[in-house]
């Protein structure tokens, strides 16, 4: 299997050519209408193997067509992705290099570059020189690892007071509640203000009304800098002050929105982030890297190391070395050096290009809001906030919004699925792809269900 013979060389060319063609094309969007391709699909995992060329052809002609690519310019749902060509090509190199990114012993060079990349992120967030962290698989893993470190510090300071309590707003991402469930912790929900922001004063009022026995189990305040549904940045400065006053950990989930820090003129909106104990941002969302990549940064990485380091005789050689082992900073052990595609792209294009690319998303979201405002069939419901806009067709119910969305996807124009706002169904654009420009948005808004 390991011999690099002529057949494998041929296959390598086919794979590189396929990958190049793929990143140059506008990917198809109508995956759900191609699900029939899966009916009666041949077995591909067989005792003798079907051969690399056949497997690649099957993937190209059948299975890949029953998928949606997040980098289609019309993909405007959830949080899209738009990995740069440089980052995608370097993902092949990361795979080919077989570097274990968990320990300095094995991956020092790769880890050095990942840390340089994390340093850039820490710098734009305003973190001090001692900050550091690790790239994990995604925002869900990042939030869990940060909150586990928060609970570790609480127990280290106060002993075990029972179930941890996290304070968060109802607008926080579902992964915060998921982390709490996994940790058998509780989330106390703090009402957001009229602008959907979690504020320091709202947290103070909720905490003042808590049973003192619950209050002493509060471990952390979780803020969001760019909520998933609405793009709202919480009152980070106010929340940092409350957390500091009470001695709580302050975690900021910037999985989607903190990428906007790449544009210096947007940084003021994130004032207070630099006071966090931990924060995350997902380069696979708005920093133009491929899946799966979340930057998790701690103000004091030593606390995270003590919370997360796994201990075993066979790991002592790594732990005793005193070197920087990325495995020690999150809930994981083996890891690929998944920060390298982002590093390569940053090194190739420079950070100014990132500022420009982020600005494009913000500008296109503004364009979307203007187009909706001036459109005779749509009403603007929310935004633009960061790069998110909500809109609706007056008089339409959830089924009608869904039917329009399904027809749009079937037509290969866009993926724009409904979400909920104040309990009702609305449509949502999240624009991060610089190619999702006014023309793309106008075509989508002008789309009518055939018949
Ligand atoms: C604010 C926020 N936090 C966390 C997540 C979870 O990230 P992931 O899907 O990478 O686990 C998301 C995903 O959209 C998000 O928007």
Residue 78 lies in a domain: no
Instruction: Tell me, yes or no, whether 100 and 116 share the same domain.
Output: yes
pTM > 0.85: yes or no = yes
H or E element at residue 189: strand 186-190
Instruction: Tell me, yes or no, whether 252 and 393 share the same domain.
Output: no
Minimal-distance CA residue to ligand 1 atom 7: 139
Tell me what pLDDT residue 24 has. 84
On the question of pLDDT at 386 being above 90, the answer is yes
pLDDT tens per residue across span 57-78: 999 999 999 999 999 999 999 9
Tell me what pLDDT residue 1 has. 60
Dist. CA 189–CA 166, nearest whole Å: 8
End position of a domain, from candidates 312, 328, 348? 348
On the question of pLDDT at 432 being above 80, the answer is yes
Residue 85 lies in a domain: no
Instruction: Tell me, yes or no, whether 286 and 212 share the same domain.
Output: yes
Instruction: Tell me, yes or no, whether 44 and 186 share the same domain.
Output: no
Tell me what pLDDT residue 61 has. 92
The mean of the pLDDT values for the chain is: 96
Atom from ligand 1 closest to the CA of residue 224: 1
pLDDT, average across residues 44-64: 95
Distance 173 CA to ligand 1 centre (A): 7
Tell me what pLDDT residue 420 has. 97
> How long a stretch of residues is the chain?
451
Question: Tell me, what CATH number does 398's domain have?
Answer: 3.90.1150.170
**Of 61-75, 361-375, 382-396, which gets the smallest average pLDDT?**
61-75
Distance 172 CA to ligand 1 centre (A): 10
Tell me what pLDDT residue 28 has. 77
Instruction: Tell me, yes or no, whether 187 and 110 share the same domain.
Output: yes
Distance 138 CA to ligand 1 centre (A): 7
Residue 98 lies in a domain: yes
Pocket residue to mutate for ligand 1, from 70, 78, 139, most atoms within 8 A of Cβ: 139
> How many CB atoms lie under 10 A from the CB of residue 91?
21
Tell me what pLDDT residue 35 has. 85
On the question of pLDDT at 168 being above 90, the answer is yes
Residues whose beta carbon lies within 6 Å of some atom of ligand 1: 79, 138-140, 173, 175, 224, 228, 253, 255-256, 282, 294
pLDDT tens per residue across span 81-95: 999 999 999 999 999
pLDDT bracket for residue 190 (50, 70, 90): very high
**Of 31-45, 181-195, 353-367, which gets the smallest average pLDDT?**
31-45
Question: Tell me, what CATH number does 115's domain have?
Answer: 3.40.640.10
- Strands in 218-224's sheet, in edge-to-edge order, are 132-136, 294-298, 278-281, 249-253, 218-224, 165-169, 186-190
Burial environment of residue 350 by CB neighbours within 10 A (0 to 12, 13 to 18, 19 or more):
exposed
pLDDT tens per residue across span 323-346: 999 999 999 999 999 999 999 999
**How many structural domains does the chain have?**
3
Q: Which domain holds residue 124?
A: 92-348
pLDDT bracket for residue 3 (50, 70, 90): low
Instruction: Tell me, yes or no, whether 358 and 256 share the same domain.
Output: no
DSSP letter for each residue of 320-366: TTT---GGGGSS-SS---TTHHHHHHHHHH-HHHHHHHHHHHHHHHH
pLDDT bracket for residue 451 (50, 70, 90): confident
Residue 206 lies in a domain: yes
Instruction: Tell me, yes or no, whether 117 and 27 share the same domain.
Output: no
Residue 372 lies in a domain: yes
Residue 79 lies in a domain: no
Distance 343 CA to ligand 1 centre (A): 21
Instruction: Tell me, yes or no, whether 103 and 60 share the same domain.
Output: no
* Residue among 143, 30, 22 at smallest CA distance from 91: 22
pLDDT, average across residues 310-317: 96
Tell me what pLDDT residue 425 has. 97
End position of a domain, from candidates 290, 325, 348? 348
Q: What percent of the chain has pLDDT over 90?
A: 93
Tell me what pLDDT residue 2 has. 59
pLDDT, average across residues 405-418: 95
- Report the phi/psi class of residue 136: left, alpha or beta, with left for phi > 0 and alpha for psi in -120 to 50: beta
Dist. CA 348–CA 155, nearest whole Å: 44
End position of a domain, from candidates 309, 331, 348? 348
Dist. CA 402–CA 425, nearest whole Å: 9
pLDDT bracket for residue 300 (50, 70, 90): very high
Distance 142 CA to ligand 1 centre (A): 9
């Amino acid at each position: 299997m390991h011999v690099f013979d002529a057949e494998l060389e041929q296959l390598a060319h086919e794979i590189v050519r396929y990958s190049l063609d793929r990143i140059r094309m506008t990917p198809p969007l109508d995956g759900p209408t191609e699900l029939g391709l899966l009916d009666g699909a041949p077995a591909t995992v067989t005792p003798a193997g079907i051969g690399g060329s056949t497997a690649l052809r099957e993937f190209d002609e059948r299975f890949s067509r029953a998928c949606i690519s997040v980098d289609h310019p019309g993909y405007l749902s959830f949080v899209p992705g738009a990995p740069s060509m440089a980052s995608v090509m370097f993902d092949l190199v990361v795979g080919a290099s077989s570097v274990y990114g968990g320990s300095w012993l094995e991956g020092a060079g790769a880890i050095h570059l990942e840390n340089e990349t994390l340093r850039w992120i820490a710098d734009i967030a305003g973190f001090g020189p001692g900050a550091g962290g690790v790239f994990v698989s995604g925002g869900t893993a990042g939030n869990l690892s940060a909150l586990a470190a928060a609970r570790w510090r609480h127990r280290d300071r106060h002993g075990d007071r029972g179930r941890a309590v996290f304070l968060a707003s109802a607008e926080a991402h579902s992964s915060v509640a998921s982390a709490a469930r996994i940790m058998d912790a509780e989330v106390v929900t703090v009402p957001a203000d009229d602008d959907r922001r979690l504020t320091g004063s709202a947290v103070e009022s909720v905490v003042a009304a808590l049973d003192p026995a619950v209050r002493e189990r509060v471990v952390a305040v979780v803020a969001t800098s760019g909520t998933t549904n609405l793009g709202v940045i919480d009152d980070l400065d106010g929340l940092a002050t409350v957390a500091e006053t009470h001695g709580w950990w302050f975690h900021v989930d910037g999985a989607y929105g903190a990428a906007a820090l790449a544009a210096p003129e947007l940084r003021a909106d994130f004032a207070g982030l630099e006071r966090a104990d931990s924060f995350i941002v997902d380069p696979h969302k708005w920093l133009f890297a491929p899946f799966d990549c979340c930057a998790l940064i701690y103000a004091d990485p030593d606390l995270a190391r003590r919370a997360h380091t796994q201990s075993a005789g066979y790991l002592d050689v790594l732990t005793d070395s005193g070197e920087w082992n990325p495995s020690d900073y999150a809930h994981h052990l083996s890891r690929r050096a998944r920060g390298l595609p982002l590093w390569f792209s940053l090194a190739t294009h420079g950070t100014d290009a990132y500022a420009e690319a982020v600005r494009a998303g913000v500008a296109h979201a503004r364009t979307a809001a203007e187009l909706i405002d001036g459109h005779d069939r749509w009403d603007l419901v929310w935004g633009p906030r960061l790069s998110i806009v909500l809109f609706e067709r007056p008089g339409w119910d959830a089924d009608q919004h869904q039917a329009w969305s399904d027809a749009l996807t079937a037509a290969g124009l866009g993926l724009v699925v409904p979400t909920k706002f104040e309990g009702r169904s609305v449509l949502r654009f999240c624009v991060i792809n610089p190619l999702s420009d006014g023309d793309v948005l106008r075509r989508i808004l002008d789309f009518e269900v055939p018949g």
